[in-house]
Amino acid sequence: MQKITLGLGCFWGPEENFKSKPGIIATEVGYAGGFSPNVTYEEVCTGRTGHAEVVRVILDKKSFSWNELFQIFWESHDPTQLNRQGFDIGNQYRSIIFYYSENQKLLAEESKKQKQESLLQLIVTDISPAKEFYSAEEYHQLYIYKKK
């Protein structure tokens, strides 16, 4: 099993996309990449904590490949939009990949390079080492699944 943390706009839809795939063991939404400790949703929404809304994905790399994971990542948002996704605007909605190993970094960079070849606009997705992850409040976890 391996984990990776991904920011691609509001975390509800991406979590639903990832959790439904065979080979994804678990997902958890939260906040990462900022400088304030123990943040809340309300604090992150101010844009002053530096955090992104993210989905931490735990995958079984024997039954789910990094290529599949990154394909879902690129197709689930517009990586050419800086600090926004659709009507959601702010640095908390930025496109970012937080990696946990040098191998993940290389795979993410290669995936970004390949995706860039198919786009006319520049990809603004950041690729950074994983930082402290703060779990989002319980009502955000599996939000779309619970609303069905």
**pLDDT tens column, 91-119:** 999 999 999 999 999 999 999 999 999 99
Which band of pLDDT confidence, cut at 50, 70 and 90, is reported for residue 61? confident
Q: Which two tokens stand for residue 94?
A: 């930025």
Tell me if 69 is assigned to some domain: yes
pTM of the model: 0.96
Q: What's the alpha-carbon Rg for the chain, to the nearest Å?
A: 14
Tell me if 125 is assigned to some domain: yes
How many domains is the chain built from?
A: 1
Contact (CB, 8 A) for 130 and 100: yes
Tell me if 79 is assigned to some domain: yes
Tell me if 61 is assigned to some domain: yes
**Residue 107 belongs to domain spanning:** 2-141
- Compute the average pLDDT of residues 7-36: 95
- Residues 147 and 129: their CA atoms lie apart, in Å, by 33
Contact (CB, 8 A) for 137 and 12: no
Contact (CB, 8 A) for 80 and 124: yes
Q: Is the pLDDT of residue 24 over 90?
A: yes
Neighbours of 80 (CB within 10 A): 14
| pLDDT tens sequence across 72-93 | 999 999 999 999 999 999 999 9
The CATH number covering residue 45 comes to 3.30.1060.10
CA 115 to chain centre: 16
Active site residue ranges: 10
Structure confidence at residue 147 (pLDDT): 85
Tell me if 148 is assigned to some domain: no
